[in-house]
């Protein structure tokens, strides 16, 4: 995000804050208005965090070369695959 976009977001949030203030004056402290106030506060926090991200170095993404989609079948596995396997999650219980 560019700094001009952050400035525009802040300006828009200011206008929205005025509208929500008008709603609070008209409808009072009802649940719907309190939710709008909370949402507005959350948006303000998020915009601040976005502005801070511009100054922070961005993590590099791992290259996507060599990644493939592996389809796992929904059919049950062959029980012979688990013959003589330990059930480690059950305290070492072993099927016979």
Q: Looking at the domain assignment, is residue 74 inside a domain?
A: no
Please state the domain count of the chain.
Answer: 1
> What pLDDT is attached to residue 36?
95
pLDDT band of 69, cuts 50, 70, 90:
confident
pTM above 0.85, yes or no: no
> What pLDDT is attached to residue 13?
94
Q: Looking at the domain assignment, is residue 8 inside a domain?
A: yes
Buried b (16+ CB within 10 A) or exposed e, 58-69: eeeeeeeeeeee
Indicate if the pLDDT at residue 91 is higher than 90: no
Q: Looking at the domain assignment, is residue 93 inside a domain?
A: no
Q: Looking at the domain assignment, is residue 60 inside a domain?
A: no
Query: Can you give the residue range of the structural domain that contains 28?
Result: 3-51
Q: What is the pLDDT of residues 37-60, one digit of tens each?
A: 999 999 999 988 888 876 656 666
Q: Looking at the domain assignment, is residue 24 inside a domain?
A: yes
Q: What is the DSSP string of 6-71?
A: HHHHHHHHHHHHHHHHHHHHHH-S-HHHHHHHHHHHHHHHHHHHHHHHTTSPPPPPPP-TT----P
């Amino acid at each position: 995000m560019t700094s001009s976009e952050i400035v525009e977001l802040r300006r828009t949030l200011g206008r929205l804050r005025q509208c929500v203030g008008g709603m609070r004056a008209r409808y009072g402290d009802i649940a719907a208005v309190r939710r709008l106030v909370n949402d507005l506060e959350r948006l303000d926090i998020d915009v601040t965090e976005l502005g801070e991200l511009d100054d922070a170095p961005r993590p590099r993404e791992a290259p996507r070369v060599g990644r493939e989609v592996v389809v796992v079948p929904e059919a049950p596995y062959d029980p012979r695959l688990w013959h003589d396997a330990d059930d480690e999650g059950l305290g070492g219980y072993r099927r016979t």
